[in-house]
Amino acid sequence: MWNDYLSHIQAEYGFYNTSPLLLPIVFHSSVVNMDIQEIHWSYSLFSTMVLLADFIIRITLSFRVIMRKRPYGVSLAWLIVVLLVPFLGGFIYLLFGENRLPEKRIARAKISNATYLLWLQGLKTRATVNKETLPNKLKPIQYQAESLVGIPAMDSNSIKLISTPEEIIGSICRAIKNAESSCHLQFYIWEEGGRVDPVNDALIQAARRGVTCRVLLDSIGSRDFLKSNSARLMIEAGVKIQESLPAGIISAFFSRIDIRNHRKIVIIDGEIAYTGSQNMVDPDVFKKDAGVGNWIDVMVKLKGPIVEVLAGTFINDWFLETDVGYFRSDSLVNDIDIIGKVADMRSCPATGNSTVQLVPSGPGYVPDAIHSLLLTTIYAARKTLILTTPYFIPDEPLLVALKAAAQRGVDVKIIVPKHNDSRMVKYASRARYEELAEAGVTIYLFSGGLLHSKTITVDGDFSLFGSVNLDMRSFWLNFEATLFIYCKTFTTQLIAQQQAYLDESAPLDIASFQARNPFEKFKENCLLLISPLL
């Protein structure tokens, strides 16, 4: 019976010369091999198609990255992401790799651009700066800034430094309570709670007594507040709240969602302005679970001709997010008059002795403006250069400029927070500490909280003050506002504030830092590769 079964198997599968003892093994192997061959054919076709698609995506996007001709560090970082991360790298690039703005915003920018440029020409006729009185090393910076963004330096301003949350938020709140015609506020983050609640109430009361109140908030930075009950109550009272650069899952496919409006500007009655690094948050309640302490910020209160420039920047941002019905291409002069009335924007009288120049920056207008001006500023230093920033990720040109300043004898101090709310930024920053220290740059670690102030002082002669961090995001992606302040008196006050930060800081112990764990160095160097994208 067994022999008959084996004979049947031999005849059925053609194993005529196979030993009966080996037949079960051969039979099993044959059947398995047959199944594998059948599976392998389909699997091979599918895997080939996947590999081919991945190859095409990588090559196509790599070619696109190269042809964009961006700074080589940015291009290299994106090539690493695209080439080393299958499929996901290409998807990430399509979402975040190019500075695509919403189509509606681009269309509105085209309509308003002619009006904006004509308004800038009008500013130049009202600028009263005697450029001959500026020190020689400041003239190129002032001229470069005007050439890049079209905004001249404005003379005869008063400028007051305010450095505590009580003073900053309290001063803004009092100004709103005293407002007679308009309150225009623009912030990256607005979060209810603590000292911010009285500001919300002050805006509601101002709107109810007939004051025009406009609040422009970044979609991502203020997403919780935009959905809050406080925002609803403000809108019901007549406060106009506008979301800037709306972000969502669908919009991510049409515009880059991490391009953000990072400006902090307040204009009251077209006569008083505030700007700097402070968001509309109370540090005593903001991000208390982050483990970095209170956020430390500074703002300035301004009066004088520069207020009109800040008011124009705000209303331009507002119109880019809202209806463009005010613009009439047949009469640009009338457009400016209409916008001036709508925006409560006017030429302001002289109130002080400070010369101030506003440099708004961001993608789409003059994308490299602030980066170019920062390089010029650093190369202009001859004695001292003090910088404060929460996020320090310099690209190669900025790194070379800082090292060169120290090597030619400039006392370069960089103050950064000891504890940062971004782990990736922390490691990417540390990757540059050693070479900066070797060049003579002194890095100070601030332990009094998260130092969020963005300030630069040069030789005690002039200063930069605003919302720009020393990282690629502020240079190339965010809409920012920076004041170039050509005033020794104010710069002296700002240096005193920087010294207060130094008093709560410790210089980096380079010997101990160099002895850190090799794995820490590896993480730093890995994040350095993609630092242009952080």
Burial of 31 (C-beta count, 10 Å sphere; 0-12/13-18/19+): exposed
CB burial string 251-270: b at 16+ within 10 A, e below:
eeeebbbebbbbbbbbbbbb
Catalytic site residue 40?
no
Catalytic site residue 459?
yes
Q: What residue type is assigned to position 485 of the chain? A: I
Rounded Cα distance between 429 and 417, Å, is: 11
Catalytic site residue 28?
no
Determine how β-strand 411-417 pairs with β-strand 354-361. unpaired
Give the active site residue among 155, 184, 218, 262. 262
CB of 246 closer than 8 Å to CB of 421 = no
Give the active site residue among 269, 297, 461, 471. 269
Rounded Cα distance between 195 and 170, Å, is: 8
Give the active site residue among 413, 426, 454, 523. 454
Catalytic site residue 488?
no
Give the active site residue among 155, 218, 264, 344. 264
Give the active site residue among 403, 426, 452, 523. 452
Q: Whose CA is closest to 431, among 405, 455, 399, 468?
A: 399
Rounded Cα distance between 484 and 142, Å, is: 8
| CA-to-CA dists, residue 455 to 46, 256, 443, 482, 487, angstroms | 56, 28, 15, 10, 14
Positive or negative CA dihedral for 196, 201, 207, 210? negative
Catalytic site residue 452?
yes
CB of 309 closer than 8 Å to CB of 301 = no
Give the active site residue among 297, 344, 459, 461. 459
Catalytic site residue 282?
no
Catalytic residues: 262, 264, 269, 452, 454, 459
